[in-house]
Amino acid sequence: MRRTAITGVGVVAPGGVTRDSFWETITAGKTSTRRITFFDASGFRSQIAAEADFDPIAAGLGEQETRRMDRYVQFAAVAGTEAMHDAGLLIEEEDRTESRFIDMSREKSISIVLEEVDRERVAVALGSAVGGTMLLEDGYVATSDRGKEWLVDPEYSPPFLYGGLIPSSLASEIAIKFRAHGPAVVISTGCTSGIDAIGYGHQMIQDGEADIVISGAAESPISPISMACFDPIKATSHRNDDPGHASRPFDRDRDGFVMGEGGAVLVLEDFDRAFERGTHIYAEVTGFASRGNAYHMTGLKPDAVEMTAAIEDAMRQGGTKPEDIDYINAHGSGTKQNDRHETAAYKNSLGEHAYNVSISSIKSMIGHSLGAIGAIEMAACALAIDRSTIPPTANWENRDPECDLDYTPNEARRRNVDVALSTASGFGGFQSAMILSRPPELMEVGA
């Protein structure tokens, strides 16, 4: 079976809108949560979020792209460009000559550098839980005169509102930008969308459907409609007077997650091809599995059977033993039931080794960006392996008796990481797990 290498990493996140600034933020234990500035949130139960200080023009997008793309698509485009450059797969922009459904004839196009790359073998697999909420909400506000008119006036509709309606615009925009002619899909499985999209890309490599997959996820849910959806079920923190310490996964006094935004793109590549061309390989995807609990839209069973099964399946695929795992990047949302559920899954699947492995949740620093966070967390795992550092769980102060593992409180650890496990849990009962490993070829050469 073909193997999957990660050869490029790109990140746009709160506290860091590049790969390196993101890594600096999470390894320093800096929190990027604050009171919402995007809109007046004074009427909401939760008035805090982790916002990205993102300027699309400064990040390299053109004015036409910025006007056409919703914010979450902009995140994917910028992170994708960084990841493709990182993988050594980009050259200078060239003029686009093809006409398309949306007229982009005057835009510039990024081209793949390697002449031997067949564009039919370059695929896109991206995730998003809620899609274009910002563009849709702005469009509704305009067409309804801020909700005053029951019959909306389409004359006031933004010209690219359709792109906000269909989540597939995420994959189509990125495929167009990088001229990827292979399969292009959007995975939407709630808060597991990011890890599931990378998993789908991994399976395309394994199955021979693609040689290169631009994979990851993006989300921009800090909008009134998204925040209003979580207020009634009390899933988000209402620690509005102390936003910097509001996200506190696994801590006894946690009271919900803090909304975030951002995106991450990983370039997945057939391992043999990547190794032969001598590009830098961050890690190898050695296992991916998902399960559904068929139980409740937001509830979790305390026995954690489905997450346990996903972890064990991912371990089986790569021949990973419990004692092989050096680091767990937890879903760690900061809700009471999720953190206990996840802790139980680690004990079930790893046995006594669960007490020896370093675990952390980067949501404590950059919030929970719904579908995007799984991809951002996989980027963190790849960097942890590559840079031999485990990011901490910020804001951990008081032990919960039901969360009694090592959650790497507050300070990063310099430690060799050969195998990293990441887990994700989503409303609807979705449970996913992925394992990244340092390839044995790189251990042999001391890379």
> For the chain, first and last CA: distance in Å?
24
Of 284, 287, 304, 315, give the one whose Cα is nearest residue 382.
284
Q: What tokens were used for 21?
A: 């600034």
Q: Residue 100: its pLDDT value, please?
A: 32
User: Strand pairing of 122-127 and 184-187?
Assistant: parallel
Residue 181 vs residues 171, 211, 248, 329, 445: alpha-carbon distances, Å: 11, 12, 43, 33, 35
Q: Residue 109: its pLDDT value, please?
A: 47
Q: Which residue has the tokens 């998902």?
A: 290
Catalytic one of 202, 341, 368, 381: 368
What is the helix, strand, coil percentage profile of the chain, to 5?
35, 20, 40
Give 408-420 as a DSSP string: -BSS-EE---SEE
Using only the alpha carbons of the chain, give its radius of gyration: 21
Run of H or E residues at 435 = strand 430-437
Active-site residue flag, 331:
yes
Dist. CA 360–CA 180, nearest whole Å:
35
**Phi and psi dihedrals of 148, rounded to 5?**
-75, -30
Q: Residue 210: its pLDDT value, please?
A: 97
Which amino acid appears at position 168 of this protein?
S
Q: Residue 116: its pLDDT value, please?
A: 56
Of 386, 397, 400, 391, give the one whose Cα is nearest residue 366.
391
- Give the max Cα distance, the chain: 68
Break the chain into its structural domains and give their ranges.
4-277, 284-435
Report domain 4-277's class: alpha beta
If one counts every other C-beta atom within 10 angstroms of the C-beta of residue 43, the result is 10
> What is the homologous superfamily of the domain 284-435 according to CATH?
Thiolase/Chalcone synthase (3.40.47.10)
Q: Residues 338, 304: contact at Cβ < 8 Å?
A: no
Q: Residue 113: its pLDDT value, please?
A: 52
Domains 4-277 and 284-435 share a fold: yes
Catalytic one of 191, 202, 341, 381: 191
10-residue mean pLDDT series, the chain (447 residues): 96 97 98 97 97 97 94 97 93 40 41 64 97 90 88 90 91 95 97 98 98 98 94 95 98 97 98 95 98 88 93 98 98 96 97 98 98 98 98 97 97 98 95 97 67
Dist. CA 209–CA 203, nearest whole Å:
8
Dist. CA 238–CA 219, nearest whole Å:
22
Q: What tokens were used for 372?
A: 């995007």
Dist. CA 241–CA 222, nearest whole Å:
18
Query: What's the predicted TM-score (pTM) here?
Result: 0.94
Active-site residue flag, 191:
yes
Q: Where are the beta strands (DSSP E) in 271-378?
A: 283-292, 327-329, 358-360
Catalytic one of 202, 331, 381, 403: 331
Q: Residues 253, 246: contact at Cβ < 8 Å?
A: no
Q: Residue 436: its pLDDT value, please?
A: 98
Residue 245 vs residues 17, 33, 250, 330, 358: alpha-carbon distances, Å: 21, 8, 13, 18, 21
